[in-house]
Every structure is written in C-alpha cells, then in structure tokens.
Amino acid sequence: MRLPPPFFVIFALVLTSSALATEFRTDFSDGLGPWQTSPSGVWEPRIESGNRVAALTQAGEQSGGVRRPTGYLLLPQFVWSDYQFTLWAKTLEPATTVRRDVVLIFGYVDPTHFYYVHISSDSDDKFHNVMMKVDGETRTTIHQDPLPEARLTDEWHQIRVEHQSTGAIRVFVDDMNSPLMTASDQTFAAGAVGFGCFDDRALFDDVTIIGAAR
C-alpha cells in the first residue's frame, strides 16, 4: 500500500540564489499543472482512494520511426542534470496483460533522443524490464545488470532514477537502497524528464525532482 510522504505540496519550485531550480514537487491536487501531454495517449486527473493522481486512461500509439514510449507527461520547462527523479506508479492493466509496464523518461532532448527505464511485469534481455537509449533511428539497451528482477504488480510502486552528468545512472524500484538497474552512458548528460507507459495505461503520483536545472 502506498504511503504518501509527509509535507508533500501541490506544486513547489525552489530557486537558489544562482537562479537554478533545485527542487520540483507535485501531487496533482491541482490537476496536471505544468506537465505537457504527449501527442498520443489520453491523460486526466483522477481520484483514486480519495487521492488525486495523474491517470493515463488511454494507451498511446506508435507514430513511426524507432519504437519508443507512446503515452507520457513531460516537464519541458527545465533541463535537469545531477538529479534524483522519484514518483509512485500503479499499472491499470490486469495481470493477464503480458509484459505490462510503466516508464520513466529522462535525459530528454527531443522525441527521438532520450533515455527511458521500462519497469515491467516480465524480464528479458531485450525490451522488458530494461533501461534503454533512444538515439535517432536506433534504441539500445544500456543497463549493465543481467535480467533485472520483474517487480511490477497490481500495487503502487515507488520508482527512482538517479542520473549524473558523468553518465552514471541508477534505477530503484521499491527498495531505495539497492538499485535494480545501473548504467553508464554520457550521450545525454542533461535533459527534461517525464513518465508514462510504453503502450499501456497507469496511474502516477507524488513526483519529486531534486537536482540542478536550467
């Protein structure tokens, strides 16, 4: 069962004296706020167990080119580096759906240049429960861990991406002490962040981004 963090606010943007945005938080109490919807997929605020969340209610569709996440919310106003990106997610797909998923997008430069972590109910060495780089007309698996454990269930999951400008990337699912996946790639040292699904539906809540932004 998801336990909301204390002192969580609707929307907070903290500025340092050097005018760098260092912290962003939202719990969607005021709707989708500054998040920009992808061209495909349908998003809406939804009440879930008395709590307002962001809901991807209709899955997105592939638009040609390299296969990549189709339905997502993006925060394009900031280019983040050296940050932690944390949220809670819950799939809306039944257990009978093969390889259901949620994704976190980071290092986003444009629609065909970014990283994403695909948290799935299945694990293989190609496309499911993986960390990938979309680079133009190609996508490449970049995580260093063989067959990461498939942890996506019907419950809420806390997911965190830590992305350093040095290229170090760590992904945590539920266990915030031991990473599920790690990678080292310097192609996109900084970029926007987002979340959604590859081709499924899901709920998201309590997003926190802490780092340097411009």
Say what the pLDDT of residue 126 is.
81
CA 203 to chain centre: 12
Model pTM? 0.91
Beta partners for residue 48, in sequence order:
51
* pLDDT for 203 beyond 80: yes
Cα distance between residue 162 and residue 106, in whole Å? 10
Supply the DSSP string of 66-102, one letter for each residue. S----EEEEEEEEEEEEEEEEEEEEE-S-TTSTT-EE
Q: Report the pLDDT averaged over residues 111-128.
A: 94
Structure tokens at 84: 């932690």
The share of the chain scoring above pLDDT 90, in percent, equals: 86
Cα angle for residues 189, 193, 198 (degrees, 5° grid):
110
Q: Predicted confidence band at 21 (pLDDT cuts at 50, 70, 90)?
A: low
HEC string of 141-203 equals ECCCCCCCCCCCCCCCEEEEEEECCCCEEEEEECCCCCCCEEEECCCCCCEEEEEEECCCCEE
Q: Encode pLDDT of 140-173 as tens digits.
A: 999 999 999 999 999 999 999 999 999 999 999 9
